Amino acid sequence: MDVYIRPFDSKDIPEITRAFEEIGWNKPASQYEIYLSEQLFRLRDVYIAISQGQFVGYLTISWKSSYETFRRAGIPEITDFNVLPKFRRQGIGTQLMDKAEDVITTVSSIAGIGVGLTPDYGAAQQLYVLRGYVPNGLGVYYKDHPIRYGEEIKVGDDLVLYLTKQLR
C-alpha cells in the first residue's frame, strides 16, 4: 500500500475526528487541538499516515513521557498509535513506527512505548515484539501506578505494560 507519512497539521483535525467518529471511537477534536499545541511547544510530535489522499492512521511521540520511569530516564514515548481498523495489517503501522524511531534516534538511543493488555491490543503487542521492543521489567501499570501482587483492578485501556527498544 502506498502510504505517505507527514507531520500533523491543524487542517487534519476534521478528517481525523470524522474517521474515528465513523467507527464509534471517542477521539474528539479537542484532543487533537491539544496535540497541535503540544507540537508547537515541542512537547509532542504527531505524524499522520495518508493513503490515496485519505487519512489512515497516526501516532505521537511524547518527548517528556507521562510514565515516570521513561520521563526520569529521558526516554521519548511513542503514544496514541492508531491505524484505522480497515487499514490494519497492510504495513501502515510499520511505516509509522519506522518514522517515529527515526525521529527519536536524533535525541535518544532508546524508544519507549506502552501497550494495553486486552485482546484489542493483540496486533500492537505482536508488532512491538517483532520490532524488538521488550518489557522494561517493572511489571504492569494501571493508571500510572504499578500493580502489586494481589491488587484488584479494572481491566481496560488503563492497564498497560511498558516496553523499550534499543535503537542504536
Q: What is the pLDDT of residues 116-140, one digit of tens each?
A: 999 988 889 999 999 999 999 999 9
Q: Across the chain, where does the E strand assignment appear? A: 4-7, 44-51, 54-62, 77-83, 110-116, 134-142, 145-146, 159-166
Q: What is the pLDDT of residue 144?
A: 83
pLDDT tens profile 133-166:
999 999 999 988 899 999 999 898 889 999 999 9
Average pLDDT over residues 105-112: 96
Residues 36 and 29 sit within 8 Å (Cβ to Cβ): no
Residue 1 has pLDDT above 70, yes or no: no
pLDDT band for position 18 (cuts 50, 70, 90): very high
Q: Assign domain 4-166 to its CATH superfamily.
A: Gcn5-related N-acetyltransferase (GNAT) (3.40.630.30)
Strand-strand pairing, 77-83 and 110-116:
parallel
**In the predicted structure, residue 14 carries a pLDDT above the cut 90:** yes
* Residue % of the chain over a pLDDT of 90: 77
Model-level pTM?
0.92
The full set of domain ranges for the chain reads 4-166
Q: Contact, 16 vs 55, CB < 8 A? A: yes
Mean pLDDT, the chain, whole residue set: 93
| Measured distance CA(81)–CA(122) in Å, rounded | 13
Each residue's pLDDT tens digit, 32-76: 999 999 999 999 999 999 998 899 999 999 999 999 999 999 999
Q: Is the dihedral angle over the CA atoms 62, 63, 68, 74 positive or is it negative?
A: positive
